[in-house]
Amino acid sequence: MDGELKRYSGIDLTKFICSFFVIMGHVPPFGVHNSSNIYTMLNFGLTQYICRLAVPFFFICNGYFLFRKIDFANPDSNKIKSRILKIIKLYIIWSAIYFPLSLTELIKHEKGFIHRVLVYIRDFLFMGSYVHLWYINGLIIALFIIAICLKLNLRPKAILLVSLFLYLIGLLDDSYYGLMNRIPLLSKVFEVYNKYFVTTRNGVFIAFFFVSLGMFISVKKPQITHKQSAVLFFISMLLMLIETFFLKYYSIARGFDNCIFLVPSVFFFFNLSSSIELYDSEKCSRLGTMSRLIYYGHLWVSIVILQLFDYLPEGLIATPLRFLMVVAITIMISLVVMKLSDMQRFKWLKKMY
């Protein structure tokens, strides 16, 4: 019982921390700067390096906590179906919440309203109905693929290897784009792919791997001590730092969403968080719940505050004020939603998380 308490508490606390990483990825914590300076470098280091741990960590958690309940000798597909349906409902709710913002883009689209409608349908099905909701969309697709793999009697190790292969392919169109683009046949294939699907940051090439990794961890239960996890996490992050700045210096990356050394980094990050000793499980569980609301809701807050900044002195844009305001207001809204959802009258609010 103590071990379970430790595991859930540590992971819930880490989820809460990661939710702020997600905000940093969308709202530069040191403000927006037009020239190259120390703050621009700090923004890059946080948003394109440290913050990249967040979304893969969430994917691993989903894979771990779902599949630890599955008997792989005789997998119960109903549990996976039930989880997928629950996430689909969540996706529809948040897509509806962000639809007013999507509608604004639909109206303004230069290629015409009908074209944008078709683009929105494509995004909704394959990429995410709004920029950060790709995470929920990716989770649905990843679980669907894993369900098919289990139906085909593939074992967790085989599923992980297939997903790793797809992850490496996905890197060629993201962080290693510059290398792939030098190979004519490959660049042509990705050119056709990007014409229809824009990016490999989706359920097939990214989410599938990290959810599968979480599933694999739940099966194998690697025995790694707290100290070992900390040391290996530090080494992996150091290698990831070198990789990130190598990709930036040589202008190889198209984006920095994922890279090679992110894999061991987030693996040991998960193991480290699961070994943290915390005993107030109820408070930590609330933090874990709040992390979801912060993730889903922060962009609405960010956009409203950005509009407010149009009426404030221009110099404030180059300060951390917007970031701090987004964090504070998003936390307050999340707390209100959670508090209201505990009441019978507003229990329906639980569907938001």
Q: pLDDT per residue over 203-260, tens digit each?
A: 999 999 999 999 999 999 888 998 999 999 999 999 999 999 999 999 999 999 999 9
Task: State which H helix or E strand residue 240 sits in.
Answer: helix 226-249
pTM (2 d.p.): 0.94
Q: Are residues 10 and 28 both part of a single domain?
A: yes
Closest CA to 274 of 46, 45, 9: 9
Residues 108 and 185 both lie in one domain: yes
Q: Do 41 and 65 belong to one domain?
A: no
The per-residue pLDDT of the chain, averaged, comes to 92
Q: Are 27 and 326 in contact (CB under 8 A)?
A: yes
243 part of a folded domain: no
For residue range 126-167, list pLDDT tens digits in order.
999 999 999 999 999 999 999 999 999 999 999 999 999 999
Q: Are residues 19 and 62 in the same domain?
A: no
- Are 76 and 149 within one domain? yes
Instruction: Give how far the C-alpha of residue 215 lies from the chain's centroid of Cα atoms, to the nearest Å.
Output: 17
Q: Which domain holds residue 311?
A: 1-47+280-353
Q: How many other C-beta atoms lie within 10 A of the C-beta of residue 220?
A: 11
How far apart, in Å, are the Cα atoms of 217 and each of 60, 198, 222, 273? 9, 31, 7, 14
Final residue of a structural domain among 202, 227, 252:
227
Residue among 177, 170, 164 at smallest CA distance from 255 = 177
Token code pair at residue 86: 């629950």
In this structure, the answer to whether residues 42 and 182 fall within a common structural domain is no
Torsion sign (Cα): 36, 38, 43, 45: positive
Q: Please check whether residues 169 and 220 belong to one and the same domain.
A: yes
Q: Residue 187's pLDDT is what?
A: 95
Residues 64, 25, single domain; the answer is no
Phi-psi map region of 343: left, alpha, beta (phi>0 left; psi -120 to 50 alpha): beta
- Report if residue 259 sits inside a domain: no
Whether the Cβ atoms of residue 129 and residue 88 lie closer than 8 Å to each other: no
The answer to whether residue 264 sits within a structural domain is no
Identify whether residues 38 and 71 lie together within a single domain: no
User: What does each C-alpha distance from 264 to 213, 233, 261 come to in angstroms?
Assistant: 11, 7, 6
Count how many domains the chain has.
2
Same domain, 19 and 65: no
- Residue 129 falls inside a structural domain: yes
Same domain as 182, residue 85: yes
